Structure 1
Amino acid sequence: MSRRPSPIAGVDLFCGVGGLSAGLQQAGITINAGIDIDETCSYPFEANIGASFLARDVREISAEHLNSIWAGNKVRLLAGCAPCQPFSSYRRGVDTSHESGWPLLAEFGRLIASTLPELVTMENVPRIAKSEVFIEFLRKLRTNGYWVDWKSCYGPRYGLPQHRRRLVLVASKLGPIKVPEGSLEPEDFATVRTAIGDLPSVASGERHELDPLHASRRLSDINMKRIAMSKPGGTWEDWPEELRAECHRRSSGSTFKNVYARMSWDDPSPTITTLATNFGAGRFGHPEQDRPITMREAALLQGFPRDYLFSKPGRMPQFAPVTRLIGNAVPPPLAKSIGSSLLNHVHECSSRNQGK
């Protein structure tokens, strides 16, 4: 049976490797193109999404560019996740007002105002809600006639096996709209075990012969001793004194408990960051094996399908660039929930208009 054509055609700004597009596609939305300045995202986006990738700075994109991509589609969606590093809680009070990421949400707003797509969705870190640039973004949406809703969404409630909160915004010219509510309760949350528990074992520094992405960084001798003494869900306080890092022995470092630590099998993972394959950068130790999680495990915990491609066939995936792409991605399960909500919204608005 053929699938009914989607009434929504999307363009994904700041698309990265396609996490947002993948989830929207899974929900049934057509993706016409992705736009990102990072050319390393070109192959993953096109190979997995099957849509064109434009290696362009969003500041150089015009209304004419976007309208040519939509090319007459009736319900246009402009989606995106502007780089969130200036707003990240990991920055711990650092003054980021000089950084280039700040104006990019304003560029998103510029393109909305110049094309007036029927639908808009944006995903970012929750702390952006307190920024002047976000408040101005909301004001421009409402000035341009959009119904708007936004909220902080907790990943496990949407099927993501990861303790991750993201701000989600939806806006529509068709009628009042709401961010979808995550429906899962704690007893139904996806966990580390459900996401990666059936993957084959690999040792520290080893790469699985059938999946080059299932590769673990090699631990130093002292970190091998540390992870061997680490308990799932525990901290470096479980180690004997001689294994503790010098910084953790000082009072200034004693509160940093979620580093050099193992995940727990039966809980969602911690937030998957761009350093998620580094044992010392967070709670990124495998729950059972004496090693950090692999690139494939990081991708699965971020909600990507198991067969998602991150590098060209025949090219060996490298830890730093691939983990950066995974950590910066929008989790597909959250994007799928957003996409389903947008499709329901369009159908409801269409039915309401036909009934008039």
Structure 2
Amino acid sequence: MRDVACIDLFCGAGGLTHGLQREGINVVAGVDVEETCRHPFEFNNSAEFINEDVSRVSGGRLKELYGSAEIKVLAGCAPCQPFSTYSQRYDVLSSPRWGLLYQFDRLVRELQPEIVTMENVPTVVKHTVFDDFSASLESQGYVVHRGVIDCTRYGLPQTRKRMVLLASRLGPIHVIEPDGRKVSTVREAIGRLPPISHGESHDADALHTASRLSPLNIERIRASKPGGTWRDWPADLVADCHRKESGRTYPGVYGRMEWDAPSPTLTTQYYGFGNGRFGHPDQERAISLREGAILQGFPTSYSFVPEGGSIHFKTLGRMIGNAVPVTLGEVIGRSINRHLIEMYQARPENKEMAPKDDSRSALVA
């Protein structure tokens, strides 16, 4: 797209950027506090990585990156942990991450981009900071659209729901509707990957590596049914915590995925069999780091560590689990494209010659 430039705040490994670039959105830079994200972001995307805390980035610095673009897009996903249902059990208000949406708002005020987009967990709508963010955009003249997206309806092989906000100074904007495609499954996503054992890495792809299981967990996964729970096990395999009344209400751990259904929502610890229903459908192991990345919409060739680099489960699990799914990035990119086409067609001088197709070239000279 000509005359459009985007900056991705909280860019992480580049899931949102990759999806936007696939749809022709010119992402010029990403900002993230985690230096480990530099390699995946820059290696797989045509954009600059800025290792900086968003709260310390000035609008003036980002304005230079936009250059002379006619349409500036500011995108991002502030860390979702403070807004998740799980985190509400703890004191998250004291976390500096809680206020990052206010920093996002500050940069909107300093940059005045034509389009703003963010995504987060659906429960973000319960928090004042999100209402403040939306109200601030409206007070600045943006038309704001916000709604929860079921990513399975757009082709992601994972039951992941996200709140997506789109705001434009140009006019009404909304998320495109699903195209009616059938739901993608775990089998379609990872069924062709070569088998590996627990604790093993595949020679051709270091990221296709699975965490090691204890002897007890090997017995447990052998007793687990796809889509089942630990309640299917013999009594001697059930963990002590699940025998207690307080633990019996947590069946969604120590389970296998189902081949012919989407995966459950991936967390930052999806590589661990005991951390959710993350067991492989038929192999005796949790899903590999690569399989998790594919379920997040990343292509099989997406590089997360330099060639020969060390594979750290905790670091890569957090990076991949926290990523905006590439598929969702594509949906947001197509929504922005559609909006810009509609706004172009609405200009009085262009009504007679406006393009009628759904081209990805949103701005025409």
Q: How does the TM-score come out when normalised to structure 1?
A: 0.96
Match of 1:84 among 73, 80, 105: 80
Partner SS state of residue 40, structure 1? helix
C-alpha separation between the residues in 1 aligned to 2:311 and 2:334?
32
Pick the aligned partner of 2:106 from 104, 107, 110. Answer: 110
Show CA shifts across 1:314-338 (max 9, x none): 1132211111100010001011011
1:337 counterpart = 2:335? no
Q: What does 1:99-178 align with in structure 2 at a 5 Å threshold?
A: 99-178=95-174
Distance, in Å, in 2 between the alignment partners of 1:262 and 1:91 is 25
Q: CA deviation at 1:198?
A: 0.4
* Residues in 2 aligned to 1:310 and 1:283: alpha-carbon distance in whole angstroms: 24
| Pair 1:277-2:283 in alignment | no
Q: Paired residue for 2:183?
A: 189
- Determine whether 1:8 maps to 2:27: no
Q: CA deviation at 1:115?
A: 1.0
- C-alpha separation in 2, matches of 1:92 and 1:76: 35
**Contact 2:148/2:162 (<8 A) preserved:** yes
Asked whether the equivalents of residues 184 and 262 of structure 2 are also in contact (C-alpha less than 8 Å), the reply is yes
- 1:242 aligned onto 2:248: no
Does the alignment pair 1:51 with 2:43?
Answer: no
The more displaced of 90-99 and 51-60 is: 90-99
Q: Are the aligned partners of 2:175 and 2:331 in contact in 1 as well (CA < 8 Å)?
A: no
Q: Percent identity?
A: 49
Residue 71 (str. 1) matches residue 67 (str. 2): yes
The structural deviation recorded for 1:350 is 1.2
Paired residue for 1:213?
207
Q: CA deviation at 1:101?
A: 1.1
Gaps of 5+ in 1: none
Gaps of 5+ in 2: 352-365
Task: Give the CA deviation at 1:89.
Answer: 1.9
Residues in 2 aligned to 1:212 and 1:306: alpha-carbon distance in whole angstroms: 12
Tell me the equivalent position of 1:19.
15
User: Paired residue for 1:290?
Assistant: 284
| 1:120-158 CA distance string (max 9 Å, x none) | 100101111110000100111001000000101111011
Deviation by residue 1:206-238 (Cα, 9 ceiling, x = unmatched): 110000000011100000000000000000011
TM-score, length-normalised on structure 2?
Answer: 0.94
Moved over 6 A (4+): none
Letter in 1 for 2:224: S
Q: Write the distance in 2 (CA, Å) between the matches of 1:286 and 1:119.
A: 40
What is the identity, as a one-letter code, of the residue corresponding to 1:265?
W
Q: Distance in 1 between matches of 2:231 and 2:287?
A: 21
Which SS does the other structure have where 2:206 is aligned?
coil
Question: Contact 1:156–1:184 (CA<8 Å) still a contact in 2?
Answer: no
Q: 2:82·2:88 contact (CA, 8 Å) conserved in 1?
A: no
- Distance across 1 between alignment mates of 2:99 and 2:176: 27
CA contact (8 A) 2:257 2:280 kept: yes
CA shift in 2, pair 1:135/1:311, >3 Å: same
Distance, in Å, in 1 between the alignment partners of 2:303 and 2:34 is: 16
Separation in 1 of the partners of 2:237 and 2:208? 28
Distance in 2 (CA, whole Å) between partners of 1:322 and 1:292 is 15
Q: Distance in 2 between matches of 1:191 and 1:294?
A: 17
Helix, strand or coil for the counterpart of 1:138? helix
Is contact 2:186–2:262 with CA below 8 Å preserved after alignment?
yes
Q: Following the alignment from structure 1 to structure 2, what is the Cα–Cα distance between the partners of residues 142 and 79?
A: 17
- In the TM superposition, what is the alpha-carbon distance from 1:182 to its structure 2 partner? 2.7
Q: Give the length in aligned residue pairs.
A: 350
Is residue 2:30 matched to residue 1:34?
yes
How far 1:92 moved relative to its partner?
5.0
Task: Give the aligned residue type for 2:235.
Answer: E
